[in-house]
């Protein structure tokens, strides 16, 4: 039976549950090579990755349109979403193995992740009027570690059965759902918006502070997932060798996972200087890293590894702070809808960026393609400051 928790205890449980639930996100990536071999269909990794993103985009859009995180208990939404996402993940093992089945199941996993990731942020926001930037820093950091996990599996070269991986990740997600559903009640600052209001989204779009925070987040999302998707390819290119080795996968894991630490540290710094300062510094810094990657080819290994690690630190540190600004820009009863909607649009932008990068690789080298990602941080910063200035006026 649920009892009211302290904000610190609630945050610890939400972070653990968030990590367990989002382990489903890239479980498909971890098992894609083996499934590809069984089905004799090379090159299905991109499809398996993209279909989860599309499912998440549709899920967050529907959750936002119907204001599900605000009209219903976010604790219950998280619980049922975790169960359903885990079940669809497991159906990949239970049903006859066909590409259509795999893609359909991964799509539904992505759809119900919409009730885990942004709803987890909403749940945390309902426990913190102050210190939200630090709280979301830990929460987003858990997602980053989950993202890096498949690269760790490859780096360790464990040769785990693809069925075992899916069984384990489904079990972890179920555990995460139980933790929130049974032990984390809705926060003390939770306000229910019981009405279904079609005019809500247009009204939210007129809030200058929300547009400022969302603009920065969109610039960040243009860069983030494309960088993560092509980190292994960039490492192979900078190394000057033509194949991905286990140690390269381990380096990919470190470059992505270090961002989980920077989310937490950035949240602590935001407590002193504010979320805006951390978000702007990290977005500008990661944009500079985009350009610097053009100049490290052929240099000693330690130099480009150091750049990738710094890039990995900066590219995630702004994410929880932009989400904090989004949550703070709207009344409490609309937080869940605003966070979910901004997530949906941000992930849609990330798919466009990934597909464009893949297209440009026909003519450009990987370092040149990733250097062009600076456009996202540049435009994001410009619009962030433009709308922020108008809000002050």
Low-confidence ranges of the chain (pLDDT < 70): 1-4, 43, 193-199, 389-393
Chain segment 81-121, per-residue pLDDT in tens = 999 999 999 999 999 999 999 999 999 999 999 999 889 88
DSSP string of 132-188, one letter each residue = HHHHHHHHHHHHHHHHHHHHHHHHHT----HHHHHHHHHHHHHHHHHHHHHH-PPPT
351, 50 Cβ separation under 8 angstroms? yes
217, 319 Cβ separation under 8 angstroms? yes
Number of DSSP helices (H) and strands (E) in the chain, helices first: 18, 0
Residue 356 belongs to what H/E stretch?
helix 335-360
For the chain, how long is the longest CA-to-CA vector?
61
Structure confidence at residue 131 (pLDDT): 79
Picking from 218, 252, 160, 262, the residue whose alpha carbon sits closest to that of residue 378 is: 218
Residue 112 belongs to what H/E stretch?
helix 99-113
The fold of 7-188+205-392 is Growth Hormone; Chain: A; (1.20.1250)
In the structure encoding, which two tokens stand for residue 205, read together?
Answer: 């779009």
pTM: 0.86
- Cα separation, 151 vs 148, whole angstroms: 6
Report CA-CA distances (Å) from 359 to 57, 365, 369. 22, 11, 10
DSSP 72: S
């Amino acid at each position: 039976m649920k009892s009211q928790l302290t904000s610190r205890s609630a945050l610890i449980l939400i972070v653990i549950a968030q990590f367990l639930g989002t382990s489903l996100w890239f479980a498909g990536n971890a098992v894609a090579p083996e499934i590809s071999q069984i089905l004799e269909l090379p090159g299905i990794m991109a499809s398996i990755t993209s279909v989860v993103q599309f499912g998440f985009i549709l899920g967050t859009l529907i959750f936002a349109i119907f204001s599900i995180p605000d009209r219903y208990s976010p604790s219950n939404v998280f619980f049922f979403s975790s169960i359903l996402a885990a079940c669809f993940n497991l159906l990949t093992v239970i049903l006859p193995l066909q590409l259509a089945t795999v893609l359909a199941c991964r799509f539904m996993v992505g759809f119900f992740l919409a009730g885990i990731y942004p709803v987890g942020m909403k749940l945390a926001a309902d426990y913190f009027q102050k210190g939200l930037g630090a709280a979301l820093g830990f929460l987003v950091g858990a997602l980053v570690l989950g993202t890096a996990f498949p690269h760790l599996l490859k780096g360790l070269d464990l040769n785990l059965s693809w069925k075992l991986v899916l069984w384990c990740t489904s079990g972890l997600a179920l555990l995460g759902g139980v933790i929130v559903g049974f032990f984390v009640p809705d926060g003390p600052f939770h306000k229910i918006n019981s009405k279904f209001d079609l005019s809500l989204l247009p009204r939210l779009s007129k809030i200058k502070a929300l547009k400022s925070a969302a603009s920065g987040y969109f610039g960040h999302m243009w860069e983030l997932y494309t960088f993560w998707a092509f980190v292994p390819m960039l490492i192979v290119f900078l190394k000057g060798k033509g194949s991905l080795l286990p140690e390269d996968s381990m380096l990919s894991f470190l470059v992505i996972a270090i961002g989980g630490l920077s989310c937490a540290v950035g949240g602590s710094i935001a407590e002193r200087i504010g979320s805006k300062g951390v978000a702007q510094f990290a977005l500008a810094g990661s944009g500079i890293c985009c350009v610097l990657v053009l100049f490290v080819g052929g240099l000693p290994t330690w130099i480009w590894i150091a750049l990738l690690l710094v890039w990995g630190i900066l590219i995630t540190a702004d994410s929880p702070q932009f989400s904090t600004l989004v949550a703070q820009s709207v009344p409490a009863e609309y937080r869940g809808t605003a966070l979910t909607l901004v997530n949906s649009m941000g992930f849609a932008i990330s798919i466009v960026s990934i597909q464009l990068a893949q297209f440009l690789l026909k003519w450009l080298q990987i370092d040149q393609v990733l250097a062009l990602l600076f456009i996202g941080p540049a435009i994001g910063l410009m619009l962030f400051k433009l709308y922020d200035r108008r809000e002050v006026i």
